[in-house]
Amino acid sequence: MDLTFDAALTPTSRSSLGKMISFRRKLLGLTREKLAALANINLKDVIRIEAGESPHIDDYILLIKGMGGDIYARWNS
């Protein structure tokens, strides 16, 4: 899966999404290490994503799906 919406993923939205992922991970009782294993990504990437430092939407999607979540898109017209 290669979704490149980097232009729409602003620093503010990355930070907010990272905080939501971190909150959900803790709510589920998962360590960063366990989440990295579930999402099949590197621990350093989990740390970067939770800090809002990853510019790639697919990184966030992997973590959300690793926690059993879904992704929905909505366009305002």
Range of the domain at 54: 11-66
Q: Which of 11-20, 24-33, 61-70 has the lowest mean pLDDT?
A: 11-20
Task: Give 32-51 pLDDT, tens digit per residue.
Answer: 999 999 999 999 999 999 99
Q: How far apart are CA 75 and CA 77, in angstroms?
A: 6
Domain for residue 44, yes or no?
Answer: yes
Average pLDDT over the chain reads: 81
Give the type of residue at 29.
G
Residues recorded for the chain: 77
Say how many domains are in the chain: 1
The conformation of residue 41, written as its DSSP 8-state character, comes to S
Domain for residue 4, yes or no?
Answer: no
Q: How far apart are CA 10 and CA 65, in angstroms?
A: 21
Task: Identify the CA nearest to 53 among candidates 26, 27, 22, 18.
Answer: 18
Domain for residue 59, yes or no?
Answer: yes
